[in-house]
Amino acid sequence: MADEMWVNMGPQHPFNHGLWNLRVRLDGETITAAEPIVGYLHRGWEKMVENRTYPQIIPLADRLCYGSSFSWSHLYCLAAERLFDIEIPERAKYIRTACLEIQRIISHLTWLMALGTDLGSYTILIWCLREREVFIDRMVDICGARMTYNYPRIGGVRNDLPPNFARDVIRSLDLFETRLQEIEALTDSNAAFRMRTVNIGNISAEKAINLGLTGPNLRGSGVELDLRRHEPYEVYDDMDFEICTATDGDAWSRYRVRVDEMRESDKIIRQCLDKMPEGPVRVKVPRCPPKGTVGCRVEDPRGESLMYIVSDGTDKPYRLKVRSPNYINLSAAPAMLLGYKISDVPSIMGVLDMCIGETDR
């Protein structure tokens, strides 16, 4: 093939949200090879935290992924609690679950906003940003920060909920339900949006499992797998929710799964606020954990995120390894890209929900 060429899409390119580079080899307009290049945001997180005490790592864990910072600081606190072997108060568990689901809605709205601009619909960006602000305001009510919350603590959460928090959240959710229908009307009935996502970037369930895809990207291939159900943490085993799946394995089904998940998050938040007991929100923890290791995984908005902590009995972790879901989803991207046209790249990579902060660590 004489007219083969390599095209660099990145590091500064309108389609990649975050700092990464996609090298694709083109035969005409068809992609024959693809190679994502990451590492532009690598800052040595895992080495840095070896010089920090356990509570000092919480704000750093917030900055692992800025799209869904609460789920990362929560994962760190959860892993540390299992390492310290402490049980947190019941109310703190409910607060954390509610915050996690608010965070999931915020994260998915951020993703939908980015996907909207990728596919040329600026209105989706504006509307999703507007809805996102409503939920960000609820998090500001709790902890004062818009994105990097620093709210969970080892042994609970930092402070109790403000008065009238439940009322505000219910109002926001009521508003959100109607607004989500409007946004869906904008995408589902949009012929251009459908043409650019339906039957694009197909991946089969077996291949997706083997390549390590998790989260909404795996559920879009027709695998009903959710760690909130399979390895329940916090109070997810008391919650009544469904695992959203779609069977086609293309970009459209991955998009559908995420939009449906926002509705399920809505349900979970309402149940949490209903059942929330009174009581303390934080327990005291010792300074140094016992010697040992712990591996703890949760369902991030992007997939399975895992932290593996090795403790040597001092107040600093000996080793902390992070499994980032997006890192592996991105490594599976060439399997989805091969054989499609170069104009399909934004939609295929857009529905993967990129967040490079956690990918590069």
Task: For residue 212, give the amino acid letter.
Answer: G
Half-sphere exposure of 116 (CA within 13 A, CB side): 20
Give the residues across from 31 on adjacent strands. Answer: 26
Query: For residue 300, which of 145, 107, 45, 152 has the smallest C-alpha distance?
Result: 107
Outline where DSSP puts E strands in 236-287: none
Smallest gap from Cβ 2 to another protein, in A, equals: 26
Pull the structure tokens for residue 18.
């975050």
Question: What backbone phi and psi angles, to 5 degrees, belong to 199?
Answer: 65, 30
CB nearer another protein, residue 126 or residue 275: 126
Pull the structure tokens for residue 13.
């390119």
CB nearer another protein, residue 351 or residue 356: 356
CA distance 110 to 116: 10
CA distance 355 to 351: 12
Pull the structure tokens for residue 274.
């209903």
Query: For residue 256, which of 361, 248, 45, 314 has the smallest C-alpha distance?
Result: 248
Smallest gap from Cβ 310 to another protein, in A, equals: 6
CB nearer another protein, residue 64 or residue 276: 64
Distances from the Cα of 128 to the Cαs of 105, 121, 165, 181, in angstroms?
Answer: 11, 11, 22, 12
Please tell me whether the peptide bond between 346 and the residue prior to it is cis, using omega within 30 degrees of 0. Answer: no
DSSP state of 51: G
CB nearer another protein, residue 199 or residue 293: 293
Smallest gap from Cβ 262 to another protein, in A, equals: 18
CB nearer another protein, residue 105 or residue 113: 113
Smallest gap from Cβ 154 to another protein, in A, equals: 19
Smallest gap from Cβ 359 to another protein, in A, equals: 10
CB nearer another protein, residue 36 or residue 156: 36
Query: For residue 361, which of 318, 319, 329, 327 has the smallest C-alpha distance?
Result: 327
CB nearer another protein, residue 124 or residue 281: 124
Outline where DSSP puts E strands in 44-150: none
CB nearer another protein, residue 166 or residue 225: 225
Smallest gap from Cβ 183 to another protein, in A, equals: 13
Burial of 21 (0-12, 13-18, 19+ CB in 10 A): middle
Smallest gap from Cβ 304 to another protein, in A, equals: 6
Smallest gap from Cβ 55 to another protein, in A, equals: 14
CB nearer another protein, residue 92 or residue 113: 113
Smallest gap from Cβ 274 to another protein, in A, equals: 26
Task: For residue 38, give the amino acid letter.
Answer: V
Helix (H) or strand (E) holding 192: helix 191-197
